[in-house]
Amino acid sequence: MKCKDLISIADLLPSDIEEIFTVTRELKEWHAKGYDEKCLNGKILGMIFEKSSMRTRVSFEVAMVQLGGHAIYLTQGDINLGKREAVKDGARVLSRYVDGIVIRTFGQETIQELARYATVPVINALSDYLHPCQALTDMYTIKEKFGTYTNVKIAYIGDGNNVARSLAQICAKLGIHFYVASPKGYELSSEFLAKAKQMAEGYDVIHLSHDPKEVAKNAQVLYTDTWVSMGQEAEKAVRQQAFRDFQINNDIVKLAKNDVKVMHCLPAHRGEEITDDVLDGPNSIVYDQAENRLHVEKALLKLLLRK
């Protein structure tokens, strides 16, 4: 992995992604055999969380412990980055104390500024715009289940949000066709699609639709996310109305391949974007997907913090 930070999938080469997947597989296999490589012995990770999260916090903290290091959890109340202290000052000071920084925040520009001034690696653990750790986990899980991601039809039904953007980016980087069905007004933007096309070396691999049934046909992966992300609570009623026909349920699953895998980055709102019977059903790989956040993050920490 050549880059100092993980800010966006756009910064990675396809070979970087494959390297992350190779290290992930090794670390996961070793952990299953009862062995964890203590490659980060004595290293300390600073974790800035302006948005709360169960999966992201626990998976990164466990990842550091399993690799021999430690993590320090910093809430917005602890650090108040960009308000009590300038982002660049926080970046410079934290770089004197810790060996890497994970940040989960609202603005992508905050992460970019933090990385610009930090002398230690910075990992984007979610912004309102991108979610690269989730996309790497999702594609690793798809490869794990199918043995490959080549020619796997991935259909995303829902909001053109941070998860959808990072999935689109990783598909563009790897030359995978990505089918997205969103309500009008909630699609991936034309500006974003133009940049994704550049990542795909000029090929159109991102396909938009307003019809969830159309994208679900013969899909091997069905993916969805919440209709109302953190910070959008005031839009809840409007969004629920707009997305009411974009639920993954058994009627949608029947349109896909018989062995379709159903994915969700969690937390799920059962009965809204996905039904109980699908989330708990035989096609769901949601909890394998959630577990893989740990293994992928261990690979990222190993590759970035050992430099």
| Predicted pLDDT of residue 39 | 97
Rg (CA), the chain: 19
Residues acting as catalytic residues = 104, 131, 134, 225, 265, 293
Confidence of residue 172 (pLDDT cuts 50, 70, 90): very high
Whether 79 has a pLDDT exceeding 90, the answer reads no
CA 208 vs. chain centroid, Å, equals: 20
Whether 268 has a pLDDT exceeding 80, the answer reads yes
CB 47 within 8 A of CB 61: yes
| Predicted pLDDT of residue 2 | 86
Whether 289 has a pLDDT exceeding 80, the answer reads yes
Q: Which residue has the tokens 């650090």?
A: 79
| Predicted pLDDT of residue 232 | 87
| Predicted pLDDT of residue 97 | 98
Whether 307 has a pLDDT exceeding 80, the answer reads no
Q: Smallest Cα–Cα separation from 53: which of 105, 111, 121, 109?
A: 105
- Rounded-to-10 torsion of CA 264, 77, 44, 122: 60
Q: Smallest Cα–Cα separation from 299: which of 8, 29, 10?
A: 29
Confidence of residue 230 (pLDDT cuts 50, 70, 90): confident
| Predicted pLDDT of residue 141 | 98
* 73-83 burial: b if 16+ Cβ within 10 Å, else e: ebebeebebbe
| Predicted pLDDT of residue 118 | 98
